[in-house]
Structure 1
Amino acid sequence: MPYTPTHLQTPPSREDVDQRKGLAVLEFGTPWCGHCQRAQPLVEQLLNGQPQVEHIKVEDGPGRPLGRSYRVKLWPTLVFLKDGQEVARVVRPETAQALDDALAQLTAA
């Protein structure tokens, strides 16, 4: 599944994420976050060539249980998952290389 430009209206539960099969990138952030906006071209570039990787874009903030369960502190935070298990994490990516490295860990896992 390619890059998803918008946040989900209803985020999945942690249980749903933990039970997912296959490869996924769970992205935490908000539409108004400047760091998130600057990272979007990098995230899009990474995921558009990876149809086997599901992109789950979740709006985060105080009281949002999914972000808290992953201990998200800064936006954007991208959690790379294989079969629901975290393999890599990138916080506030500034280069394509940081995301490429995490994707390499994901696909090698």
Structure 2
Amino acid sequence: MPYAAQHLAQAPTRAEVDSLPGATVLEFGTPWCGHCQRAQSFIAQALHDRVDVAHVKVEDGPGQRLGRSFGVKLWPTLVLLRDGQEVARVVRPQDAGAMAQLLGADRPAQD
């Protein structure tokens, strides 16, 4: 699944997220957030060739339970999940390197 440019119309439940298979990047933010807008090119670039990683873009804000369940305080917050379990996160990525580091957390270490 490639980069998702649009936020989901309705956020998934925590149970749905916890049951996601494989690697997934949950992106919490809003369409009007300046930090979120600036990070989109880095996020899109990092996910461009990663067909093995699902991208779920969740609009966050007051009363949104999914973001609270992940302890999201700043946008964008990207959480890398492996089979529904958090393995890494990055908050307000400033460059492509931050995204590469996030996605690298899902790959086994090379000897």
Q: What interval of TM-score do these two structures reach, taking the shorter chain for normalisation? A: over 0.9
Quote the residue 2:77 is aligned against: 77
How many angstroms apart in 1 are the aligned matches of 2:88 and 2:8? 22
> C-alpha displacement at 1:106, in angstroms?
1.4
Q: Does 1:15 align with 2:7?
A: no
Q: CA RMSD of the aligned region, Å?
A: 1.0
> C-alpha displacement at 1:2, in angstroms?
0.5
Matching residue's letter, 2:20: R
Matching residue's letter, 1:40: Q
Query: Which sections of structure 2, spanning at least 5 residues, go unmatched?
Result: none
How many angstroms apart in 2 are the aligned matches of 1:90 and 1:33? 16
Quote the residue 2:61 is aligned against: 61
How many angstroms apart in 2 are the aligned matches of 1:25 and 1:54? 6
> C-alpha displacement at 1:95, in angstroms?
1.1
Q: TM-score, normalised by structure 1?
A: 0.97
- Aligned residue pairs: how many? 109
Quote the residue 1:91 is aligned against: 91
Query: Which sections of structure 1, spanning at least 5 residues, go unmatched?
Result: none
> C-alpha displacement at 1:107, in angstroms?
2.5
Instruction: Give 4+ residue runs of structure 1 displaced > 6 Å after superposition.
Output: none
SS in 2 for 1:63: coil
Alignment of 1:22-37 (within 5 A): 22-37=22-37
> C-alpha displacement at 1:51, in angstroms?
0.5
How many angstroms apart in 1 are the aligned matches of 2:32 and 2:15? 28
Q: TM-score, normalised by structure 2?
A: 0.96
Matching residue's letter, 2:8: L
Matching residue's letter, 2:53: V
Quote the residue 1:4 is aligned against: 4
